[in-house]
Amino acid sequence: MSTHGITRADMHAVNLPRRRALNRLMEVLAWLAAAVAIGFLVLIVWSVARKGASELNLALITKTPATGFFTSGSGGLANAFAGTLVIVGIATLMALPTGILVALYLTEFAPPSVRNIVSLSLDVLNGVPAIVIGIFVYGLFVLGHGQSGYAASFALACIMLPLVARSTIEVLLLVPRALREASLALGVARWRTTLSIVLPQTIGGIITGTVLAVARVAGETAPLLFTSSLVGTQVHWNPHHALQTVPVAIFELSESADPQDHARAWAAALVLLLFILLTSLTARWLATRNRSKLSASR
């Protein structure tokens, strides 16, 4: 039999002061943990900004690195920014459609058993260290063919795929079943319902997920070292060849003997950081907009 009601002893517990103290302590601990997390972010941004500020100028993104002996230290990283743009762009073109199709299959068509397996695989793929993906793509494409922008894009797409698929699944699950039923009850085929009724509801969420994934892979270094790091100093746009990228450039500059190179590495890091911050903020803005749109359609 279940007991019910609250006795007087419960209301005036003898250890009430202790409970209150414990409650207070946990609150303070949680607050401290949050402060530490934010503190580290502030520290990173601040130190990067302080050390890179001297080299942060327009030449950084418009000029190529100087190659002459006497001119060492001048010039910019235009080749790295161009390469990152190309490689991340192609990676997005690979990962976005695949990720959306995976998500559509899982939420709309897959039987529950398959859904669990594929869903677990996505989580595992998401957890694979970037360097392992780099080695994998190295063995797959680079050995015998040489480095290329495509190989780098493929490696980054492997990292993006689970991120895009996961975020798309989440917004697909938010689409009310009643909306799917409304279309199906008209005698409209399943694929048509999915494309014309379900998918348009999720555009905002898909963009958010993609932007976050782009921000994440734009800073990946390890896979690029294997796939696109043996490069010259000129600006190239052709992904058939290895292209310089911002993370790899930062890595190389940081190993230079010239202190001015270090400053440039910090400046490039600052630009990368600002880019990621900007894209994350855009993603958040899109997410809130999409959520309010979805709830209005309930």
Partner 1 sequence: MSITIQPAVRVETKRQPLPPRERLERIFNIDGVDALYGGKPAIKDVTMDVYKNLVTAIIGPSGCGKSTFIRCLNRMNDLIPGFTLTGTIRYHGQDITGNDVDPVAVRRHIGMVFQRPNPFPKSIYDNVAWGLKVLGMKDGLADRVERALTQAALWDEVKDRLKASALSLSGGQQQRLCIARAIAVEPDVVLMDEPASALDPIATAAIEQLMTDLKGEYTFVIVTHNMQQAARVADMTAFFSISRGDEGERYGELVEYDATQKMFTAPSDTRTEDYVTGRFG
CA–CA dist 210, 286 (Å, integer) = 11
Q: Which residues contact 289 (CB under 8 A, 6 or more apart)?
A: 204
Pick one of 36, 58, 185, 257: the residue that binds partner 1 (CB under 8 A).
185
CA–CA dist 260, 126 (Å, integer) = 37
In degrees and rounded to multiples of 5, residue 238 shows phi and psi of -85, 110
Tell me if 296 contacts partner 1 by CB under 8 A.
yes
Residue with smaller CB distance to partner 1, 131 or 179: 179
Q: Which stretch binds partner 1 (CB under 8 A): 79-87, 143-151, 191-199, 236-244?
A: 191-199
Provide the minimum distance between the beta carbon of 286 and partner 1 in the complex, in angstroms, as a whole number.
17
Q: Which stretch binds partner 1 (CB under 8 A): 8-16, 78-86, 148-156, 193-201?
A: 193-201
Provide the minimum distance between the beta carbon of 285 and partner 1 in the complex, in angstroms, as a whole number.
21
Tell me if 233 contacts partner 1 by CB under 8 A.
no
Pick one of 188, 235, 274, 276: the residue that binds partner 1 (CB under 8 A).
188
DSSP 56: -
Tell me if 184 contacts partner 1 by CB under 8 A.
yes
Provide the minimum distance between the beta carbon of 291 and partner 1 in the complex, in angstroms, as a whole number.
14
Q: Which stretch binds partner 1 (CB under 8 A): 96-104, 161-169, 182-190, 233-241?
A: 182-190
Tell me if 295 contacts partner 1 by CB under 8 A.
no
Residue 127 half-sphere exposure toward CB, CA atoms < 13 A = 6
CA–CA dist 165, 106 (Å, integer) = 9
Find tokens 């699944």 and name the residue.
Answer: 169
Q: Provide the mask over 162-181, with x wherever binding to partner 1 is found by CB under 8 A and - wherever it is not.
A: --------------xxxxxx
Provide the minimum distance between the beta carbon of 173 and partner 1 in the complex, in angstroms, as a whole number.
15
Tell me if 111 contacts partner 1 by CB under 8 A.
yes
Residue 182 Cα distances to 105, 186, 188, 189, 193, angstroms = 20, 7, 9, 12, 9
Distance of CA 96 to the CA centre of its chain: 13
Task: Give Rg (Cα) of the chain.
Answer: 25
Pick one of 72, 183, 256, 260: the residue that binds partner 1 (CB under 8 A).
183
Residue 106 Cα distances to 163, 181, 217, angstroms = 14, 18, 24
Q: 3-class DSSP state for residue 94?
A: helix
Residue with smaller CB distance to partner 1, 5 or 111: 111
CA–CA dist 280, 154 (Å, integer) = 23
Residue with smaller CB distance to partner 1, 24 or 293: 293
Task: Report the interface residues with partner 1, using CB under 8 A.
Answer: 111-112, 176-190, 192, 196-197, 201, 293, 296-297
